[in-house]
């Protein structure tokens, strides 16, 4: 139960895919190595590299598709499948999918990114999720500190910034541990209860 669902949000196309794909891969790999579940928008680009990093390092990768079915996912949206252990077909197109993805995750890490990633980031902030940004990955990620400085943002002081993927994931997990400490204590007390003997 201490396994968190950590979303990696990033550009599906554009220059940051070329310049930061290795960083997205490292994020996915580190999430897997720390024993947590990666969530993404089941799409190409940086999220796909993150999913590949998770899968190739023994992790669990869950994709949230904008499509309503595997047929639509492949034929209409032309999105990948091989990097995912499970795909949730939201039937919500991209905008609705973004909200479902973020609300289903415990934390959101932004790498690179364009307007869609801004939508996911703002949804995460407004949903009081743990938010993290990989600085040096270009695009939205490198612009977010300036945006948050100029536009009032809920809990902006709690946003985690770092330039190192492994260190960023570690900091996210530690923040989640603090956020869910009461929940973990509750689970521990349940586990320590004497088990009733079964009849017969």
Q: What pLDDT does residue 102 have?
A: 98
140/103 Cα distance (integer angstroms): 20
The number of distinct structural domains making up the chain is 1
pLDDT digits (tens, 9 = 90+) for 108-142: 999 999 999 999 999 999 999 999 999 999 999 99
196 is a domain residue: no
Q: What pLDDT does residue 193 have?
A: 73
- Inform me whether the pLDDT recorded for 82 exceeds 80: yes
For residues 20-45, average pLDDT? 98
Which residue segment(s) compose the domain that 137 sits in?
Answer: 5-191
pLDDT digits (tens, 9 = 90+) for 53-64: 999 999 999 999
46 is a domain residue: yes
Residue 118 belongs to a domain with what CATH number?
3.40.50.450
199 is a domain residue: no
pLDDT-derived band of residue 172, with 50, 70 and 90 as boundaries?
A: very high
Given phi > 0 = left and psi -120 to 50 = alpha, else beta, which region is 138?
A: left
Pick 183 or 75 by higher pLDDT: 75
200 is a domain residue: no
By percentage, how much of the chain surpasses pLDDT 90? 88
For residues 171-192, average pLDDT? 83
107/4 Cα distance (integer angstroms): 8
198 is a domain residue: no
For residues 5-15, average pLDDT? 97
60-69: b or e for each residue (b if 16 or more CB lie within 10 Å)? bbbbbbbbee
Q: What pLDDT does residue 199 have?
A: 52
Q: What crossing angle do the helices spanning 115-126 and 93-103 adopt, rounded to 10°?
A: 40
- Inform me whether the pLDDT recorded for 184 exceeds 70: no
17 is a domain residue: yes
- Inform me whether the pLDDT recorded for 198 exceeds 70: no
137/11 Cα distance (integer angstroms): 11
130 is a domain residue: yes
């Amino acid at each position: 139960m201490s396994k968190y669902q950590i979303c990696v949000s990033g550009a599906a196309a554009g220059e940051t895919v070329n310049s930061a794909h290795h960083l997205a891969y490292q994020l996915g790999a580190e999430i897997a190595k720390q024993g947590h579940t990666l969530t993404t928008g089941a799409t190409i680009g940086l999220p796909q590299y993150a999913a590949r990093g998770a899968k190739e390092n023994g992790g669990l990768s869950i994709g949230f598709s904008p499509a309503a079915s595997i047929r639509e996912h492949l034929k209409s949206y032309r999105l990948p499948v091989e990097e995912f252990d499970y795909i949730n077909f939201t039937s919500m197109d991209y905008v609705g999918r973004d909200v479902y993805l973020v609300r289903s995750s415990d934390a959101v890490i932004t790498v690179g990114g364009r307007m869609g990633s801004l939508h996911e980031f703002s949804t995460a902030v407004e949903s009081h999720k743990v938010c993290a940004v990989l600085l040096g990955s270009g695009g939205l990620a490198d612009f977010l500190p300036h945006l948050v400085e100029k536009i009032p943002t809920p809990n902006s002081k709690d946003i985690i910034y770092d330039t190192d993927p492994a260190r960023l994931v570690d900091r996210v997990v530690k923040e989640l541990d603090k956020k869910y400490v009461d929940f973990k204590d509750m689970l521990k007390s349940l586990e320590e209860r004497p088990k009733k003997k079964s009849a017969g």
